Amino acid sequence: MGRKPCCDKVGLKKGPWTEEEDKKLVEFILSNNGHCCWRAVPKLAGLLRCGKSCRLRWTNYLRPDLKRGLLSESEENLVIDLHAQLGNRWSKIAARLPGRTDNEIKNHWNTHIKKKLKKMGIDPVTHEPISSPPPDHEPHHDQLVHDQLQGPPPEEPNGETLEKSTTTNTTTNHEGTDPPLNTNSPAFNTDEVPMIQPHEIIAPSAPHAAAASSSSSSSSSCSNSSSSSSSFSSVLFASFDEMVVPSMEWAEPVLFLGLDDVLGWEFSCGDGGEDSRAVFDQEVWKMELF
DNA sequence: AAACTTGGCAACCGCCGGGAT
DNA sequence: GATCCCGGCGGTTGCCAAGTT
């Protein structure tokens, strides 16, 4: 037996909602505390719409807890990270962003983030770097860093330094060899940024991070996470200016930090001995042992 | 100023999964 | 187990405003 249409379409209104319709719907739902099946809503609320349309209008536009306006940069980056993990499961992604709807996120992805990622040389579908012709040079990491830093390309770091950084339990992903040690955020993030465990942060060595205009608050977040038992299972260093998501309810929480936040910070690495300390260095996007 | 193009967003459509019968 | 119903999801469309020629 074929499926019935969700509603009898004859005589039902389609297209943009009017203020009056919105008002009727909101009043009905609020007066019923949402305790009604959507199919019955149009009749009871006096609307010439199908129930589905009412539900959509409510969830995507009329719900009082919705945030309006563009996604913030931190929200955007969270979407990117979640998309890398979940794919096009917009509702799951939306569930991680309070006040945002799946439709909103989907639209934002298609209109903004896709372009942004492509511009950064990242395939928005796979979150892998878009392969480029030069075979002897792994462009994505360095190139991304350069782009994101918006500065002149730093000198190619010598292999020795990178080798060192590899030993720091952080991931620089050079030469496409070692996979990220922490796999909380596969694909996009872990490919592009080094990751470190919270306990490895020993101290912001200087109020350097305070110089970061918009993300200075994150320095205290990180500092706190280092001095006490952190609520984050890993710390993800990203290159965006605003990447502070200190209170998201992750299954495996991740603290996002802007690059500016961690410049010059010291980290313990490995066994925590004196030789295993490192400092984060913007110039070559690495952890330098000292 | 008008025509055309592009981008963004709200809404629709069809399918799917889960619960009820 | 089969069928029905409903809510939810993701892809797509269509409209409109802004920008460009």
Query: Is any atom of nucleic acid chain C found less than 7 Å from the CB of residue A15?
Result: yes
- pLDDT, tens digit, 9 for 90 and up, residues A8-41: 556 788 888 988 888 888 888 888 766 678 888 8
Among all protein residues, pick the one whose CA is nearest to the C1' atom of B11: A15
Integer-rounded Cα Rg, in Å, for chain A is 24
Q: Is the pLDDT of residue A136 over 70?
A: no
pLDDT of residue A35: 66
**Spacing of A104 CA from B10 C1' in Å:** 10
A194: closest CA among A137, A276, A278, A85? A278
For the cut 50, the answer to whether the pLDDT of residue A122 exceeds it is: yes
Q: Assign 3-state DSSP to chain A and report helix, strand, coil percentages, each to 5.
A: 45, 10, 50
Which nucleotide lies at the shortest CA–C1' distance from A55? C7
Domains recognised in chain A with CATH numbers: 7-64 (1.10.10.60), 69-128 (1.10.10.60)
User: Which pLDDT tens digit goes with each residue over A188-209?
Assistant: 333 333 333 334 333 333 333 3
Q: Which residues pair with A267 in a beta bridge?
A: A201, A278
pLDDT given at position A71 = 82
Mean pLDDT calculated for residue range A167-195 = 32
Tell me which residues from 232 to 271 on chain A have a beta carbon below 7 angstroms from nucleic acid strand B.
none
- pLDDT confidence tier of residue A43, bands split at 50, 70 and 90: confident
Dump pLDDT digits (tens) for A215-273: 333 332 333 333 333 333 333 333 333 333 333 333 333 333 444 444 444 444 334 44
For the entire predicted model, the pTM comes to 0.53
Please check whether residue A234 is in contact with residue A195, taking contact to mean a CB–CB distance below 8 angstroms. Answer: yes
